[in-house]
Amino acid sequence: MKRVVWPLVLALVLAACGDAPSPARLRDIGALLPPLTFTLHDGEARTRRAADFAGQVVVLYFGYTHCPDICPTTLARLAGLVRRLGAAAARVSILFVSVDPARDTPAVLHAYAEAFGPRVVALSGSQEQLGALARRYRVSYGLGPADGDGQYEVSHSSAVFIFDPRGRARLLATAEDSDADLLAGIQGLLAAGGNERWDGAR
């Protein structure tokens, strides 16, 4: 699978200097991206909205279940870090958004999320819904040509977006960031709290 990271995102986050200090050494995107907003479906074919996760730190990652390496590696890493939080892990949700809805049916999403533990929620939607979400967070993805068996690769951003309990975009992480920095970023947002008002869309 080919990784694609939208150049403008990297240019912006590297140059960013937000009003509030970041709780870790990850990239501060608080002044660059809007609050968490989406309407998708989960592995139970239930409609899920951003407000369902109000009061939680949300870790958002785009990918697809047929991804041979980067997606499962990233999700396993994130799930492992969240488990290290102990009881506080209940206040964190890892949202895996599949950009391959043709193959990633609710049943496939359900089985895939279960493999990584209870804090991972797999989501997908129509191409229109996915396109709107990708544009909102400046994520690029694309489907490659199908082979003789109808299989194809999907290129997508490998960035991880982290939102605070009020639904505000706060941090961006990549594979180059250390486990320590990722964990510190999540812990900092948990400690800051701020779930008294939801800033994302309902």
Per-residue pLDDT reduced to its tens digit, 176-193: 999 999 999 999 999 987
β-pair type (160-163, 154-156): unpaired
Q: Which domain holds residue 130?
A: 7-192
Report the pLDDT value the prediction gives residue 196, as an integer from 0 to 100: 59
202 located within any domain: no
Which residue ranges in the chain fall short of pLDDT 70?
1-24, 194-196, 201-202
pLDDT of residue 2: 42
Which pLDDT score, from 0 to 100, does residue 143 have?
79
Write out pLDDT tens, residues 136-161. Answer: 999 988 777 777 777 878 877 889 99
pLDDT of residue 149: 75
Query: Letter for the amino acid at 4?
Result: V
Q: 201 in a domain, yes or no?
A: no
Task: Tell me, yes or no, whether 144 lies in a domain.
Answer: yes
Nearest to 143 by CA among 101, 109, 105, 106: 101
Q: What is the pLDDT of residue 194?
A: 61
Considering the domain boundaries, does residue 46 fall inside one?
A: yes
pLDDT of residue 142: 79
Q: Kindly state the percentage of the chain with pLDDT values over 70.
A: 85
Residue 196's CB: how many other CB atoms inside 10 A? 8
Q: What is the pLDDT of residue 195?
A: 54
- Asked if the structure places residue 197 within a domain, the reply is no
**174 domain residue, yes or no:** yes
pTM, full prediction: 0.84
The verdict on residue 198 lying in a domain is: no
Check which CATH number belongs to the domain holding 74 and give it.
3.40.30.10
Strands 92-98, 57-63: parallel, antiparallel or unpaired by DSSP? parallel
Residues in the chain: 202
156, 62 Cβ separation under 8 angstroms: yes
Number of domains in the chain: 1
Is residue 77 one of the residues assigned to a domain? yes
Given a contact cutoff of 8 angstroms between Cβ atoms, the answer to whether 200 and 167 are in contact is: yes
- Distance (Å, rounded) from C-alpha 99 to C-alpha 134? 9
The torsion angles phi and psi of 48, rounded to 5 degrees, stand at -125, 140
pLDDT of residue 13: 34
pLDDT, residue 152, reads 78
Query: Are 34 and 187 in contact, with CB atoms under 8 Å apart?
Result: no
